[in-house]
Structure 1
Amino acid sequence: MQATIEPTENAAAQIEFESQRGGFTAPKAVLQPQGSFEAAAIEARGREDWNNAIEAGQSWQMDQPFAVEPAMFLSYVAAVGAEDYAAAERAARIGRVANPKDPMLANNLVFALANQDKKIDVDELLSRSAPPRDSREEAVHNATRGLVAFRAGDVQQGRTYYSLATKQSLDLNFPGQAALAASYWAREEIRARSEEAAEIWKLARTLTEHTAERDAEMILSRLPKDSIRSSLPMY
């Protein structure tokens, strides 16, 4: 078949996706044809090899600068996987040149900026994009608004948004997304040294135990152990 002898970028990425889902390993020559940056990025992300995922993602975005997909991929893995928020910001900004109305690229840009403690007007920035396309995207936007509120010092509003995002994700049957929102919520409660930190950390831990997705567990594992212990009640 032509697709397996000289696979295109999209064909190689699809083969990689199917190989991970089906439990088989495709030959490297199939997964990484010349210029197959998308497949290499997806493969590295699957291994949680964040540096190589970013490198391949940057090559993918350079190869397809007008496409939304590489910008979304790179801004996510840079921020969530590698905590390289400057790289995530660059990826989102490049993607928004050709896709200024994409609501999730706007969300990822806000997320990257907030994590760098850069002063932003989230309402103004998000208003320049289209509204969320569905309830799942709305939940993601609410989680990001929670982050922005926490970083602005409005803990109560941050809790309101994170709580809403977590509930929406659970109601929509996206447990991995709910766990990720709760994990970032726990991180912000701990950073704020709030009395609610222990309770939210426990919520996030419980949610991570009910999803096969690993991103939320990774976020929790990065929280300073001393901060977690100091947030938990003493018995």
Structure 2
Amino acid sequence: MSLLNHKSVRRMVPRWRASTSAMSSMEFASLKAAVQPSGNISAQVAEVTKDFMETPSMGNAAEVLSTLAVSEFREAGADAANYVLSHSAHAPQLLLELARNTRRNSLTNFRQKSVKETRQLLRLHPDNPMLWSDIARHLATIGKKAEARRAMMTAFHLAPNHRWMLRTTARVMAHLDDGVSAHKLLANHPRTRFDPWLMAAELACAQVAGRAPKFWKQANDMLKWGGVAPAHLSELATAVGMMELEGGKRKNARKLVHMGLIAPTENVLAQVFWAKENKHLNDGFGLDALVSSSVDAFEAECQLSIGKGNLQDAVKFAQGWNEDEPFASRPKYELSYIACLLDDYELTEKTADDIARLNGARDPTLEMNSIFARLSSGKLSKEEDSEALAKIHDQLQLAISSGGLDQYHAIANLGLWHYRYGEALQGRELYQLAIAAAQKSHQHNSAALAATFAAREAILKMEPSANEDLVRAIKLSTASASNAGKFYVQKLERLIAEPGEAKRILSPDFRPLRPEATAQKTMRIERTDGKYVIMLTSSKL
């Protein structure tokens, strides 16, 4: 039973992407006055292309390629790309790579360099800051945090005034739990007061560090007067909006979020979705459509799919998010949560191992998920794995006696242990204790999940209490308003109808309801002789 806390705080800190992916973003484009009509990328392409044709130069060519990087008109950059390549001796390495990819008309499909390739290139180009950043990202992914910081600082010192390098270095510091240094870097840099991307990062890092932002007034002035394309203001407007939201100025926050969503980055989409779910920010932005139409909004797509109870899609987006940020813990927590509800026990255990490698220690919550997966998988034999089972039992007892946030998770897992390898009656009693403990802590989603898995075990054991336990699971799941929890309840509705199909139903590929059947009522609950009974309208959906 996963007890992931979805209400963890999220800040608008910059993304840390591989350099080849980052170069196709607006973050690499120069600040340019917005072209009318506002947000019309074709008009911007026309203007910068006209400037280049009238006055061919390296600067104008860079403007063309940067603008085309976020448009569908990449073929229009052939002349600019050829100009850069024909003057390669005077072109920066990053601009050369941008030109080559534009000419191949494959800018949005940059192939991620392997670690081996990156190291080989770094030996040839030790002064390339992008390669150092990519190496730092790899080191962070395998848990070598100190080495990652040194590599990132090398990258920064090679390009100390580059916007993306500044933002990425601050992101790395925040990732390594040094929010104060991240904020100082941005607050003290002379470029920050003039750049909306850097101001957005400064505001977010100030929140991480628990410090007052230095450029609050300048940020608000820039949003008020504009003068740059909406895409350049997206993260700044959202960062200011989040601070206004926390300060209780909801009306102003909504206006700012609206501004941020004119031409949003995927980071903005994820932040606004988080605020909608956790800060009760009313939608009215067409957020679902914006998320669905975005190419790389893995985090927001994952949360959107979880909210809809579509966990098969959610796990795909969570895996995309994890590949996009392999050094981060949050996508792995989401993967673990989804994997538990999909009965994907292998993925649940792998996620716990990945986090342990990142952090150098086992994560208590994911360790509980891993134990849940091992017990649920049915691979442990009471006779052949008695030592392993005894170790799990002792580990759960210790977690219970230690208290803390994972206590009721451990109680529920001990209930599962007894259902599978001990006494079913004791297992049910422990699940009831876990439900009560979660409710007392106002963890209603956790209480619903505990009730759901208690019902699963009762159904599998064909216990007389199975109907009653499922009724309780349905009620708690409905009260928690969790579509993800309802997803598993639907599995149990099928399981109680087809107990012989347990292996198929409790598998990652099983979809509880066919799309055309989702609106049909397949069961009802009646009270008979003082007891609740589930009445099935059909054994097949």
Counterparts in 2 of 1:213 and 1:170: CA distance versus 1, 3 Å: same
Q: Secondary structure of the equivalent of 1:43?
A: helix
Identity among equivalent positions (%) equals 25
Q: Which amino acid aligns with 1:7?
A: T
Deviation string, structure 1 residues 136-171 (Cα, Å, up to 9, x no partner): x32122212222322224313322321111010121
| Larger helix fraction of residues | 1
Rounded Cα–Cα distance in structure 1 between residues aligned with 2:327 and 2:363: 12
Q: Does the aligned pair in 2 maintain the 1:106–1:126 contact within 8 Å?
A: no
Pair 1:12-2:272 in alignment: no
Deviation string, structure 1 residues 111-151 (Cα, Å, up to 9, x no partner): 2222211325424666999x97834x321222122223222
Pair 1:108-2:373 in alignment: no
Deviation string, structure 1 residues 25-74 (Cα, Å, up to 9, x no partner): 22756777665422222122222222221112112223333432111100
Pair 1:210-2:479 in alignment: yes
Counterparts in 2 of 1:216 and 1:31: CA distance versus 1, 3 Å: closer
Counterparts in 2 of 1:62 and 1:102: CA distance versus 1, 3 Å: same
Counterparts in 2 of 1:203 and 1:154: CA distance versus 1, 3 Å: same
Counterparts in 2 of 1:124 and 1:171: CA distance versus 1, 3 Å: closer
Rounded Cα–Cα distance in structure 1 between residues aligned with 2:421 and 2:459: 15
Is the deviation greater in 48-57 or in 182-191?
Answer: 48-57
1:149-168 counterparts in 2 under 5 A?
A: 149-168=418-437
Counterparts in 2 of 1:78 and 1:122: CA distance versus 1, 3 Å: same
Counterparts in 2 of 1:182 and 1:33: CA distance versus 1, 3 Å: same
Rounded Cα–Cα distance in structure 2 between residues aligned with 1:138 and 1:109: 15
Aligned counterpart for 1:85 among listed residues 345, 365, 380? 345
Rounded Cα–Cα distance in structure 2 between residues aligned with 1:132 and 1:105: 17
Structure 1 alignment gaps of length 5 or more? none
Counterparts in 2 of 1:56 and 1:27: CA distance versus 1, 3 Å: closer
Aligned counterpart for 1:95 among listed residues 343, 349, 355? 355
1:177 aligned partner: 446
Pair 1:226-2:497 in alignment: yes
TM-score when normalising by structure 2: 0.38
1:124-163 counterparts in 2 under 5 A?
A: 134-135=404-405, 137-163=406-432
Q: Does the aligned pair in 1 maintain the 2:329–2:355 contact within 8 Å?
A: yes
Counterparts in 2 of 1:91 and 1:162: CA distance versus 1, 3 Å: same
Q: Secondary structure of the equivalent of 1:206?
A: helix
Aligned counterpart for 2:392 among listed residues 122, 133, 137? 122
Rg comparison, structure with higher value:
2
- How much does 1:76 deviate? 0.9
Rounded Cα–Cα distance in structure 1 between residues aligned with 2:427 and 2:288: 47
Rounded Cα–Cα distance in structure 2 between residues aligned with 1:171 and 1:144: 18
Q: Secondary structure of the equivalent of 1:108?
A: helix
Counterparts in 2 of 1:186 and 1:37: CA distance versus 1, 3 Å: same
Q: Does the aligned pair in 1 maintain the 2:375–2:420 contact within 8 Å?
A: yes
Q: Secondary structure of the equivalent of 1:42?
A: helix
Rounded Cα–Cα distance in structure 1 between residues aligned with 2:448 and 2:497: 22
- How much does 1:107 deviate? 1.1
Q: Does the aligned pair in 2 maintain the 1:146–1:158 contact within 8 Å?
A: yes
Counterparts in 2 of 1:161 and 1:66: CA distance versus 1, 3 Å: farther
2:319 aligned partner: 58
Rounded Cα–Cα distance in structure 1 between residues aligned with 2:291 and 2:468: 47
Structure 2 alignment gaps of length 5 or more? 1-232, 236-259, 381-387, 500-522, 530-541
Q: Secondary structure of the equivalent of 2:287?
A: coil
RMSD: 3.3
Q: Which amino acid aligns with 1:172?
A: S
Rounded Cα–Cα distance in structure 2 between residues aligned with 1:205 and 1:33: 35
Rounded Cα–Cα distance in structure 2 between residues aligned with 1:30 and 1:183: 30
Q: Does the aligned pair in 2 maintain the 1:101–1:128 contact within 8 Å?
A: no
